């Protein structure tokens, strides 16, 4: 089968429009995951043990099961309990929950990297919890958590093609539809791969730069 450039340019506008949707899905999903991760983290850090244990089990369960199955579960099962969620909403909830579990681990890794003595010093200096967190703990935890947080942004982006299976009109969904309309699959699928590469490579490079910059700002450049 021959690559057809005229066809490539013909479908390019639709593909680019769908790329916008893909990016939107990734960013919204990421924003939700950031918040959900924080909630999971707090629930796991509470002093009330049953909440700790239950949260940890839920996190473990979500982390060890496939995102694709979870997508179908939310999409098909939620309506049976009277929850009518659009494909978009189902997708965003599932991505947020799934990657929220990863995010809580990343946060925890960052917090654990802050030496115990820092907390004690804050208490000795009579700092309130807000100041302790924002002035002392987070500035030290963030550089540790940043690489993980960045990786999951790219991770979510690369998992968005799965959303096509429940009908979210992102890039893969558009490629499927174009294939079904024109019976040409070579160009749409190859273009999806190419677009993904064109976005994820610079993003990864940018994140590495950001990490380096943060590390430098922390005076940690010499390790």
Partner 1 sequence: MLKTFRTTALAAIGGAMLFVTGAGADPLSDRINAGDPIRLGFATAIPWAYPGDGGEPLGFVNALTLVVLEEMGITNYEASVNEWAGLIPGLQANRYDIITGGMYILKSRCANINFSDPIGLFGDAFLVPAGNPKNIHTYQDIITTGAKLVTGAGFNTVEAAKKEGVPDSQMMLVAGEVEILAAMKAGRADAAVQTFFGAMEHVDKTDGQFEVTDPKDLPVWTQNWVGIGMRKADTEFLAAFNTAMAKVIGGEAWMAATAPYGYTKYQLPAADASTEFACTR
Partner 2 sequence: MSYFEFIATYLPKLLQGTVNTGLVMLGATLLAISVSLVFGLMRLSRSRVSQVLATIYIEFFRGTSLLVQLYWVYYVLPLMGVSFTAMTSGILALGLNFGAYGAEIFRGSVQAVPRAQWEAALALNMSPMLRMRRIIIPQTFPILLPPAANLTVELLKATALVALISVVDLMFVAKQINATTWMSAQAFGTALLVYYAMARFVLTPFLRWLEVLAARKMGQDQGS
Q: Based on CB atoms, which residue is closest to partner 2, 72 or 119? A: 72
Residues 78-137 that bind partner 1 (CB under 8 A): 78-79, 84-87
Q: At what angle do helices 87-112 and 67-77 cross, to 10 degrees?
A: 140
Q: Which of 129, 135, 181, 220 binds partner 1 (CB under 8 A)?
A: 181
Least separation in angstroms between CB 176 and partner 2: 8
Q: Quick one: what does residue 151 bind among partner 2, partner 1, none, with the CB cut-off 5 to 8 Å set by partner type?
A: none
Q: Quick one: what does residue 181 bind among partner 1, partner 2, none, with the CB cut-off 5 to 8 Å set by partner type?
A: partner 1
Question: Is 74 near partner 1 (CB under 8 A)?
Answer: no
* Contact region with partner 1 (CB under 8 A), list: 70-78, 112-120, 124-132, 206-214: 70-78
Residues 134-163 that bind partner 1 (CB under 8 A): none
Question: Residue 41 is encoded by which pair of tokens?
Answer: 């983290």
* Rounded-to-integer distance, Cα 104 and Cα 155, Å: 15
* Rounded-to-integer distance, Cα 199 and Cα 24, Å: 13
Q: Which of 45, 109, 167, 215 binds partner 1 (CB under 8 A)?
A: 167
Q: Quick one: what does residue 119 bind among partner 1, partner 2, none, with the CB cut-off 5 to 8 Å set by partner type?
A: none
* Contact region with partner 1 (CB under 8 A), list: 2-10, 53-61, 174-182, 211-219: 174-182
Question: Is 68 near partner 1 (CB under 8 A)?
Answer: no
Least separation in angstroms between CB 75 and partner 2: 9
Q: Based on CB atoms, which residue is closest to partner 1, 20 or 202? A: 20
Give the CA dihedral 25, 163, 168, 7, nearest 10 degrees. 100
Residue closest to 72 by CA, chosen among 93, 85, 90, 95:
90
Q: Quick one: what does residue 67 bind among partner 2, partner 1, none, with the CB cut-off 5 to 8 Å set by partner type?
A: partner 2
Residues 185-204 that bind partner 1 (CB under 8 A): 185
* Rounded-to-integer distance, Cα 4 and Cα 205, Å: 32
Question: Is 165 near partner 1 (CB under 8 A)?
Answer: yes
């Amino acid at each position: 089968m021959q690559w057809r450039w005229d066809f490539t340019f013909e479908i390019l506008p639709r593909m680019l429009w769908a790329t916008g949707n893909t990016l939107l899905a990734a960013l919204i999903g990421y924003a939700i995951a950031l918040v959900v991760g924080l909630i999971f983290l707090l629930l796991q850090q509470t002093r009330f043990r049953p909440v700790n244990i239950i949260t940890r089990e839920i996190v473990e369960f979500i982390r060890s099961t496939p995102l694709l199955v979870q997508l179908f579960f939310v999409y098909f099962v939620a309506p049976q309990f009277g929850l009518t969620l659009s494909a978009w909403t189902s997708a965003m909830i599932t991505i947020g929950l799934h990657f929220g579990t990863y995010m809580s681990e990343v946060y925890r890794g960052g917090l654990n990297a802050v030496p115990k003595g820092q907390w004690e010093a804050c208490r000795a200096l009579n700092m309130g919890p807000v100041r302790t967190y924002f002035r002392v703990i987070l500035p030290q935890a963030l550089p540790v958590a940043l690489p993980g947080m960045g990786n999951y942004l790219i991770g979510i982006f690369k998992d968005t093609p799965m959303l096509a299976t429940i009908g979210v009109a992102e890039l893969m969904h558009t490629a499927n539809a174009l294939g079904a309309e024109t019976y040409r699959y070579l160009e749409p699928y190859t273009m999806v791969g190419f677009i993904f590469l064109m976005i994820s490579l610079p993003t990864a490079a940018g994140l590495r730069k950001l990490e380096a910059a943060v590390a430098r700002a922390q005076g940690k450049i010499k390790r």
